[in-house]
Amino acid sequence: MAAAHEPEVIRDKAAMRAWARRRRAEGKAVALVPTMGFLHDGHLSLVSAAAASAGGKPVAVVVSIYVNPSQFAPTEDLATYPSDLAGDIRKLAATAAVAAVFCPPDLYARPDAGAESASCLEETGGAYGHETWIRVEHLEKGMCGSSRPVFFRGVATVVAKLFNIVEPDVVVFGKKDYQQWRVICRMVRDLDFAIEIIGSEIVREADGLAMSSRNVHLSHEEREKALSISRSLVKARTAALNGNTHSQQIKYQMVQTLTEAGGQVDYVETVEQESLVPLERIDRPAVICVAAWFGKVRLIDNVEIQAPS
């Protein structure tokens, strides 16, 4: 029996579902924080938001740790994605807010054990392998969806599976993955999941770099150069609030800043906050989203802007 401050580690799907139903029978709300592990303070801020999510009602917080292979294309970094399960559990135990950690070995139906290392799982369809996918057809297009065409299919599908297993009342996502957060919000609305989705603000290092599990792969020099992302976003937000609301001008200036810093820009887009429709001008609530490579590491960040008065 685990000590009271230590989260219960659950690996089996049926056991996880039964655990959550017992907590609900006790009168508690179940709050889920989905992660891919290698936890940092940004993840722990999501745990804090989850623990405070029920407005005074007792909350049982579940953190899932699962590196989802279906959101990686074959050329992406599934094999090198950082992992430290023992360290993650120690960090969660130290918060005293997490009741359970769900870390399943696999969440997909596979035709044979040899497919376990597959990235986007294309080859597992047929022969009784996994072939059911969820697409959020409009919101998954553009931005990360353009350069990572299997990403949101994989995210939406595995998150829906987590919802069906954990049956949470509340789920907390970080806004750093802005498009992902909006995709999940739309999926929940469209498929009638009885779940409240909370978007938690970006947590940054002291120098402004958005916290990310991938930051560990940056060299010291690359990390210094990557600070151009957050700095360019701050400048863009300030310019927009001071009247420079033309999206193309904002994009040009940001691309120039990131390129001069040594980054390879994937995209810079100014979009409406909920629909993610590209905006020519910031005349309504908007978000500037950016993705850029520094060395072999792809980083994303964003800043929300309310329309200037």
Residue tagged active-site, from 43, 130, 138, 246 = 43
Residue pair 147/268 in contact by the 8 Å Cβ criterion: no
AA letter at 31: A
Strands (E) in 28-123, as ranges, are 29-35, 59-65, 98-102
AA letter at 289: C
DSSP3 helix / strand / coil % (the chain, rounded to 5): 40, 20, 40
What are the helix (H) ranges across the chain?
Answer: 13-25, 41-51, 85-95, 144-147, 151-166, 178-190, 220-241, 247-260
Distances in whole angstroms, Cα of residue 28 to Cα of each of 56, 64, 151, 172: 10, 18, 33, 17
User: Active-site residue 43, yes or no?
Assistant: yes
Residue pair 31/172 in contact by the 8 Å Cβ criterion: yes
Radius of gyration of the chain (CA): 20
Residue pair 65/43 in contact by the 8 Å Cβ criterion: no
Q: Are strands 59-65 and 98-102 parallel, antiparallel or unpaired?
A: parallel
Q: Can you tell me whether residue 55 is helix, strand or coil?
A: coil
Residue pair 162/62 in contact by the 8 Å Cβ criterion: no
Catalytically active residues, by annotation: 43
